[in-house]
Chains A and B, each alone.
Chain A
């Protein structure tokens, strides 16, 4: 079964810490995405990548960075975690050239910053 795996289901970090959220896919997908989901605000796109070492800003990139050194892995980095980054983070991947078809999402990481 094809999968997008996020390294942690639940994470608690302190304000000011550097936080790494890891996402790995085993489908040889070119495209990878990071979203966050908050009550009342829905799913919002943070960053995405169409190829190794490439990255594009989404709608809410402030306070985040990403790294994609290998095709299968896309990391979201919170340089200095803040309480307003407490959220559910979802990673997704898709094949290039398929428009909106067949996105596969991970199960999410619920991050709490205290």
Chain B
């Protein structure tokens, strides 16, 4: 499995865009990049995933560099409820036997 590097913590002002980077320089061709987040005292929650194209859903956007060695999760208008730990996880897509291995993640603090 590819290793990831994420900043330990970040701050963001409420209403502004939060941009969370992730380096995954050893990612293999068949690994997707998944993003999960964990709000305090809850289990992790799926956000978004992508292979090589940029992706957007109702929660966030995912920008993956052309060489696939890094990606950025964008929360376009962060709210206080987005305060959480965010995890970037490469995993083989559509694997019958995939398993999420969590790193340390980025603690995002959204401030009023």
Which stretch from A12-20, A43-51, A67-75, A77-85 is at the chain B interface? Answer: A43-51
Contacts of B101 in A (CB 8 A): 45, 59
Contact B94 A99 (CB under 8 A): yes
Contacts of A97 in B (CB 8 A): 94-96
Contact of A50 among B92, B96, B102 (CB under 8 A): B96
Contact A99 B43 (CB under 8 A): no
* Cα(A99)–Cα(B99), bound, Å: 7
- Chain A residue with Cβ nearest B101: A45
Chain A: minimal CB distance from B28 (Å): 13
Interface string of B83-103 (1 = CB under 8 A from A): 000000101111111111111
Contact A100 B103 (CB under 8 A): no
Contact A43 B102 (CB under 8 A): yes
**Which of A97, A99, A106 has its CB near the most chain B CB atoms (within 10 A)?**
A99
Task: Please name the 10 residue pairs, one residue from A and one from B, whose CB atoms are nearest each other, closest first.
Answer: A105-B43, A100-B91, A100-B34, A43-B102, A99-B93, A99-B98, A96-B96, A99-B95, A97-B96, A99-B94
Q: Which residues of B contact A (CB under 8 A)?
A: 32, 34, 36, 38, 41-46, 49, 89, 91-105
